[in-house]
């Protein structure tokens, strides 16, 4: 399963970087979103895909027994999702304002303006 996810993550990174190198700023934002999702999948996969119970210690136990799910990657991905959504919302607002000012979504046309 990890091998399949490794190829999927590599494909998502390649697609995200390809879209970010395009001239359209809309494709740049879509590439940024795909890149953020690939990073989230990478964090999950690097932590290991083991199913287990919650890492809680009972009243009569002194240590966790058996396979448990690691909560750290889940917390990291949850934080990355929130930060990624904020960055995408900011870039969408920036895109709208740039389109209103310039009148085009081409990065070369935006670079050539003096306004």
Residue at 45 is within a domain: yes
Q: Taking 60 as the threshold, does the pLDDT of residue 70 lie above it?
A: yes
Question: Coil, strand, or helix at residue 66?
Answer: coil
For the segment 13-66, what is each residue's pLDDT rounded down to a tens digit? 999 999 999 888 889 889 999 999 999 999 888 877 767 667 777 788 887 777
Residue at 7 is within a domain: yes
Q: Taking 80 as the threshold, does the pLDDT of residue 6 lie above it?
A: yes
Residue at 34 is within a domain: yes
| Tally of domains within the chain | 1
Q: Taking 60 as the threshold, does the pLDDT of residue 115 lie above it?
A: no
**In which band, very low, low, confident or very high, does the pLDDT at 113 lie, cut at 50, 70 and 90?**
low
Q: Please choose, from the candidates 32, 40, 16, 34, the residue with its C-alpha nearest in 3D space to the C-alpha of residue 95.
A: 32
Cα 6 to the center of its chain, rounded Å = 15
Residue at 86 is within a domain: yes
Query: Would you state the pLDDT for residue 61?
Result: 80
Which distant-in-sequence residues (6+ apart) come within 8 Å of 38 by Cβ?
9, 12, 13, 16
Residue at 56 is within a domain: no
What residue numbers bound the domain in which 92 lies? 2-50+68-111
Q: Taking 70 as the threshold, does the pLDDT of residue 96 lie above it?
A: yes
Residue at 57 is within a domain: no
Residue at 21 is within a domain: yes
Residue at 33 is within a domain: yes
Q: Taking 70 as the threshold, does the pLDDT of residue 69 lie above it?
A: yes
Query: Would you state the pLDDT for residue 104?
Result: 80
CATH of the domain at 94: 1.10.287.3510
Query: Would you state the pLDDT for residue 47?
Result: 78
């Amino acid at each position: 399963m990890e091998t399949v996810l490794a190829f999927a993550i590599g494909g998502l990174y390649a697609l995200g970087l390809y879209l970010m190198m395009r001239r359209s700023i809309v494709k740049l934002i879509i590439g940024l979103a795909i890149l953020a999702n690939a990073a989230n999948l990478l964090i999950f996969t690097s932590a290991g895909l083991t199913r287990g119970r919650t890492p809680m210690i009972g009243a009569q136990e002194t240590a966790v027994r058996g396979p448990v799910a690691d909560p750290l990657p889940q917390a990291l991905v949850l934080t990355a999702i929130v930060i990624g959504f904020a960055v995408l919302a900011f870039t969408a607002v920036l895109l709208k304002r740039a389109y209103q000012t310039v009148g085009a979504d081409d990065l070369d046309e935006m670079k050539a303006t003096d306004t």
